[in-house]
């Protein structure tokens, strides 16, 4: 899995702003009248943006924006004047991780499925067919004569012509190019971003003669980019990823003229596009937003910024004695005040050496946090107060979670083939690593981890079991099943009475296990979590975490509803 996920390097951004609702609005979002659990569920923070982030987009003949969400497995049709989502296509419509999109004259949507290597064609009424083209297909564009092209990027290469009916086999046009956002110009040639991890180019391709010409290279000093698109005047536009500078390219000068149009520095730009009125729109894969860039260089939100996918969660006291809630949001580490829900701070993905890698799970480690990521295989120790990585451990293959156990770390790993699970006990140097449980002890998909008083438990998503794997600080030769019949259990926590809280992502509920009696009690139901995964990724997909404070107030992340839930006893 990490090899696949490393290909997302250039979609990672550097900022997010979460729009929070006030307490009266938040509480009105949840109705637990049908709940007889004795617990009250409210929405602690709700993100206003589209769950799963914003990626490629295109306009139909009515200037409606069709926006893809790679991690949301969805396509949204949006009125750009009002921001209203007119229609949504989801996994139920056979949408599978769409990264980029283009429409034909009949408003059929053609989208690339980055992880599965497929092209999908979805009609306006939701009928979908797919065809495998090549691993890591990313951009897609129609030529001026109606021919359809796509290309691989990052860890694969190749430019392909695709039958719009998705029947005839794809034709390999050029095997040695890696292309991102692309579009055909008025001259009938294909223009595309050609990024890699250290530099970027903009190229022009004659698809009939398979001739690739560099237009912009490192000598221009523009750094990484991800797309190039034309306005109705035939003027190409692109962006600089480092600072969000949008620029116009003059193809008539030598060297090419570069004119700054404006800046969109809030996060990482994923794509840009013009509507029929020459209005310029920009998508942000990092905070899920879409904006219009106005003539004066300012921006107007169409889709507001917010969570991409809330995953891991932790509770920690601040130096002033108040409590903070910390959230892993795939590309961002966010801190909220536990009383108000207001955002207090945020740390963002940083691809430079020693930078924070996209957090998926987090756990408190003294004054620091332990972080794992579905994007990167490393395990990091993060000092949030000083925004610095104080330790980093490499060499893992799909590390799904990590926590402190005694004086060591425990890492849940699933393997590159997603079939070689194990729990690793590692010392602080990172050099001494011991497998304490694996498939031979019944592990299939270990993900949730929690420890208390020398005892260690792990949830197994695939088998529905909660297993004790250590007692009195010593790993067990044979793990003990302490609960079974759970529905895709993920996040774990322990309350003040020593009972284990379990997120059952298959049922969208929070349960609690009394270790003394073995009784499992449901505390909250109808939670919007457990988003369906993508092919090529761990079946657990986005982690659904749980944390509890010293007053036994519980917080759970909802990756489907894009929320943090607050669950507490009814008074």
Residue 522, helix vs strand vs coil: strand
Could you give the CA distance from residue 356 to residue 173 in angstroms, rounded to a whole number? 38
Residue spans of alpha helices (H) in 265-383: none
Q: How far is CA 211 from CA 175, 205, 312, in A?
A: 11, 6, 47
Does the pLDDT value for residue 288 go beyond 80?
yes
Q: How high is the pLDDT of residue 75?
A: 96
Which pair of tokens denotes residue 450?
Answer: 């929690």
Asked if 161 contacts 143 with a C-beta cutoff of 8 angstroms, the reply is: no
Asked if 97 contacts 91 with a C-beta cutoff of 8 angstroms, the reply is: no
Q: Which residues contact 358 (CB under 8 A, 6 or more apart)?
A: 12, 330, 331, 349, 373, 374, 375, 376
Q: Which residues pair with 371 in a beta bridge?
A: 362, 380
Does the pLDDT value for residue 146 go beyond 70?
yes
Per-residue confidence band for 5, with pLDDT thresholds at 50, 70 and 90: very low
Could you give the CA distance from residue 80 to residue 302 in angstroms, rounded to a whole number? 6
Does the pLDDT value for residue 20 go beyond 60?
no
Per-residue confidence band for 198, with pLDDT thresholds at 50, 70 and 90: low
Average pLDDT, the chain: 90
Q: What is the pLDDT of residues 60-116, one digit of tens each?
A: 999 999 999 998 999 999 999 999 999 999 988 999 889 999 999 999 999 999 988
In SS3 terms, 33-52 reads as CCCCCCEEEEEEEECCCCCC
Residue spans of alpha helices (H) in 362-453: none
Q: Which residue has the tokens 């090549």?
A: 134
Q: How high is the pLDDT of residue 3?
A: 34
To which H or E segment does residue 23 belong?
Answer: helix 23-28
Q: How high is the pLDDT of residue 196?
A: 64
Q: What is the pLDDT of residues 39-76, one digit of tens each?
A: 999 999 999 888 888 999 999 999 999 999 998 999 99
Asked if 391 contacts 380 with a C-beta cutoff of 8 angstroms, the reply is: yes
Does the pLDDT value for residue 236 go beyond 80?
yes
Q: How high is the pLDDT of residue 214?
A: 92
CATH of 57-303, one of 3.10.290.10, 3.40.50.300, 1.20.1050.10, 2.130.10.10: 2.130.10.10
Does the pLDDT value for residue 19 go beyond 80?
no
C-alpha 36: how far from its chain's center?
Answer: 34
Give the CATH number of domain 2-48+395-569: 2.120.10.30
Per-residue confidence band for 533, with pLDDT thresholds at 50, 70 and 90: confident
Sheet holding 74-78, edge to edge: 57-59, 65-69, 74-78, 85-89
Could you give the CA distance from residue 114 to residue 94 in angstroms, rounded to a whole number? 15
Q: What is the pLDDT of residues 214-226, one digit of tens each?
A: 999 888 888 888 8
Does the pLDDT value for residue 492 go beyond 50?
yes
Please state the rounded mean pLDDT for residues 450-471. Answer: 97
Q: How high is the pLDDT of residue 422?
A: 96
Could you give the CA distance from residue 526 to residue 558 in angstroms, rounded to a whole number? 10
Q: How high is the pLDDT of residue 30?
A: 45
Q: What is the pLDDT of residues 542-563, one digit of tens each?
A: 999 999 999 999 999 999 999 9
Q: Model-level pTM?
A: 0.86
pLDDT above 90 as % of the chain: 78
* All structural domains of the chain with their residue ranges: 2-48+395-569, 57-303
Asked if 349 contacts 13 with a C-beta cutoff of 8 angstroms, the reply is: yes
Please state the rounded mean pLDDT for residues 273-291. Answer: 94
What phi, psi does 27 have (nearest 5°)? -65, -30
pLDDT above 70 as % of the chain: 93
Q: How high is the pLDDT of residue 36?
A: 64
Q: What is the pLDDT of residues 324-369, one digit of tens each?
A: 999 999 889 999 999 999 999 988 887 677 888 889 999 999 999 9
Does the pLDDT value for residue 467 go beyond 90?
yes
Per-residue confidence band for 570, with pLDDT thresholds at 50, 70 and 90: confident
Q: Which of 162-166, 217-221, 422-426, 431-435 bottoms out in mean pLDDT, i.e. has the lowest?
A: 217-221
Per-residue confidence band for 119, with pLDDT thresholds at 50, 70 and 90: very high
């Amino acid at each position: 899995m990490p090899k696949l996920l490393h290909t997302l390097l250039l979609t990672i951004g550097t900022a997010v702003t979460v729009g929070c609702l006030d307490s009266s609005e938040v509480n009105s979002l949840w109705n637990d009248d049908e709940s007889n659990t004795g617990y009250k569920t409210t929405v602690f923070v709700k993100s206003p943006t589209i769950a799963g982030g914003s990626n490629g987009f295109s306009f139909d003949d009515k200037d409606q924006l069709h926006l893809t969400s790679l991690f949301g497995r969805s396509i949204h049709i949006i009125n750009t004047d009002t921001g209203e989502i007119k229609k949504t296509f989801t996994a139920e419509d056979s949408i599978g991780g769409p990264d980029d999109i283009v429409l034909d004259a009949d408003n059929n949507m053609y989208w690339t499925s980055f992880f599965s290597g497929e092209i999908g064609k979805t009609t306006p009424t939701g009928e979908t067919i797919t065809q495998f083209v090549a691993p890591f297909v990313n951009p897609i564009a129609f030529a001026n004569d109606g021919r359809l092209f796509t290309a691989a990027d990052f860890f694969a290469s190749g430019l392909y012509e695709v039958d719009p009916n998705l029947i005839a086999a794809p034709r390999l046009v050029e095997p040695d190019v890696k292309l991102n956002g692309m579009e055909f110009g008025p001259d009938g040639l294909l223009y595309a971003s050609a990024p890699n991890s250290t530099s970027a180019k903009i190229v022009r391709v004659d698809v009939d003669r398979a001739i690739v010409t560099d237009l912009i290279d490192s000598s221009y000093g523009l750094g990484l980019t991800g797309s190039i698109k034309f306005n109705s005047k035939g003027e190409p536009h692109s962006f600089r990823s480092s600072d969000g500078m949008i620029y116009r390219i003059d193809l008539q000068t030598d060297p090419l003229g570069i004119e700054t149009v404006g800046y969109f520095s809030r996060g990482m730009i994923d794509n840009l596009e013009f509507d029929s009125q020459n209005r310029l729109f920009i998508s942000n894969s990092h905070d899920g937003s879409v904006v219009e860039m106005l003539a004066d260089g300012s921006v107007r939100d169409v889709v507001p910024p917010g969570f991409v996918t809330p995953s891991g969660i932790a509770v920690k006291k601040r130096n002033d004695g108040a409590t903070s809630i910390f959230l892993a949001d795939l590309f961002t580490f966010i801190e909220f005040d536990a009383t108000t829900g207001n955002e207090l701070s945020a740390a963002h993905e940083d691809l430079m050496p020693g930078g924070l890698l996209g957090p998926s799970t987090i756990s408190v480690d003294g004054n620091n946090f332990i972080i794992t990521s579905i994007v990167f295989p490393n395990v990091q120790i993060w000092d949030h107060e000083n925004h610095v990585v104080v330790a980093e451990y490499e060499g893992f293959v799909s590390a799904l979670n990590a926590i402190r156990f005694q004086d060591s770390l425990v890492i849940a790993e699933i393997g590159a083939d997603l079939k070689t699970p194990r729990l690793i006990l590692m010392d602080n140097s990172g050099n001494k690593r011991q497998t304490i449980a694996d498939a031979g002890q019944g592990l299939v998909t270990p993900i949730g981890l929690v420890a208390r008083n020398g005892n260690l438990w792990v949830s197994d998503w695939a088998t529905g079991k909660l297993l004790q794997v250590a007692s009195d600080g010593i790993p067990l030769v044979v793990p003990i099943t302490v609960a079974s019949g759970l529905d895709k259990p993920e996040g774990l926590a322990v309350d003040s009475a020593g009972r284990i809280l379990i997120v059952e992502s298959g049922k969208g509920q929070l349960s609690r296990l009394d270790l003394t009696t073995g009784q499992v009690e449901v505390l909250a139901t109808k939670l919007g979590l457990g988003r369906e995964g993508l092919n090529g990724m761990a079946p657990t997909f986005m982690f659904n975490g749980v944390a509890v404070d010293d007053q036994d107030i519980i917080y759970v992340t909802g990756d489907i509803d894009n929320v943090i839930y607050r669950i507490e006893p009814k008074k």
